[in-house]
Amino acid sequence: MPLPVLILGGTTEAAELGRALAGDARFRATISLAGRTRRPAPQALPVRMGGFGGVAGLIDHLRGENIAALIDATHPFAAQMTAHAVAAAAATGTALLLVRRPEWRPGAGDVWRMVDSMAEAAGALGKLPRRVLLTVGQKDLAPFAAVPWHDYLIRSIEPPAGDAPAHRFLAARGPFTEAEELALLRRERIDAIVTKNSGGVATEAKLAAARALGVSVVMVARPPLPEGAACVATVSDADAALAWLHARSPRGV
Ligand code: NAP
């Protein structure tokens, strides 16, 4: 009997894990997406779309689908989904793995200002007008409307959802190369980038480009892990998640 697996996705790690599991008869795996983007990246596994309906809905889903292994490979800023996964796995006794890519850390030549929230990031841009590249996604933009004197270029997959400052919009989906990021920063004469500390390689080229040009970076720290997550098995990439799954497969590796 194949092992029923649910992967909470929306990340490169989840997609990579999906490619590794596709066609593997030891597993019956599905990827779950929130449905935030109109054209989600193609997945190698069957996809289910949309919220579960809170912790209770996720518990029902885990029970209804007989899920034996739940892998939370959501983005490090998708804190609510992770909290729900931890609670639902505990309630149902489902084996849970968290996939958390390492944070970005500043190195020599970086001009980073670390902040704990999007409101603090908006304040950190200062009183003088700046040309700002906002790469914080589509739904965390409201605090920048309170500091409207900056010239904002918002880059995300989808246009802003909800309050946002006056801006120009650049629709784009990573990965981005350093050459592309250098060209963008130069063309737009960007002097500050605001980003979440997402980690990972797909969107880190902007940091190298900023270093090369002396552009300052406002780095928003990750939200804390939810209660109970510290006791959950955690790995940092898709290969390690695959190894964890293999250890649970009916016939081993
Ligand atoms: P969130 O705030 O933690 O979750 C809000 C609600 O969205 C959850 O309670 C759940 O609804 C639903 N949801 C989230 N992820 C889901 C998934 N993979 N499958 C089914 N339902 C999901 O999440 P978010 O920050 O909006 O992120 C949404 C998705 O975008 C995630 O898949 C995440 O990996 C991806 N993403 C997020 C970011 C980011 O910066 N936040 C960046 C890149 C990708 P119910 O309570 O109804 O179950």
H-type alpha helices, 75-168: 79-92, 118-124, 142-145
Q: What is this structure's pTM?
A: 0.95
List helix spans (H) across the chain: 12-21, 54-64, 79-92, 118-124, 142-145, 178-187, 205-213, 238-248
Ligand 1 nearest atom to the CA of residue 83, by list position:
3
Query: From ligand 1's centre to the CA of 130, what distance in Å?
Result: 31
pLDDT for 50: 97
Residue 81 CA, ligand 1 centroid: distance in Å: 6
What is the DSSP secondary structure assignment for residue 162, as one 8-state letter?
A: S
- Provide the 8-state DSSP code for 117: S
155 CB less than 6 Å from ligand 1? no
Phi, psi dihedrals of residue 120, rounded to the nearest 5°? -65, -35
Q: Which of 17, 75, 117, 220 has most ligand 1 atoms within 8 Å of its beta carbon, as the pocket-test mutant?
A: 75
- At 193, which helix (H) or strand (E)? strand 192-196
Q: How far out from the chain centre does Cα 175 lie?
A: 13
CA triplet 128, 134, 137: central angle to 5 degrees? 150
Helices 54-64 & 79-92 angle (0-180, nearest 10): 50
> Can you give the pLDDT at residue 38?
84
Task: Answer whether 195 contacts ligand 1 (Cβ < 6 A).
Answer: no
Residue 148: both structure tokens together: 């409207």
Q: What is the pLDDT at residue 251?
A: 65
State how far the Cα of 144 lies from the Cα of 240, in Å rounded to an integer.
38
- Cβ–ligand 1 distance for 221 under 6 Å, the answer no
- Gap from CA of 111 to ligand 1 centroid (Å): 30
| pLDDT tens, the chain, 253 aa long | 899 999 999 999 999 999 999 999 999 999 999 998 888 888 999 999 999 999 999 999 999 999 999 999 999 999 999 999 999 999 999 999 999 999 999 999 999 999 999 999 999 999 999 999 999 999 899 999 999 999 999 999 999 988 999 999 999 999 999 999 999 999 999 999 999 999 999 999 999 999 999 999 999 999 999 989 989 999 999 999 999 999 988 764 4
Q: Is the minimum distance from the CB of 46 to ligand 1 under 6 angstroms? A: no
Whose Cα sits closest to atom 24 in ligand 1? 78
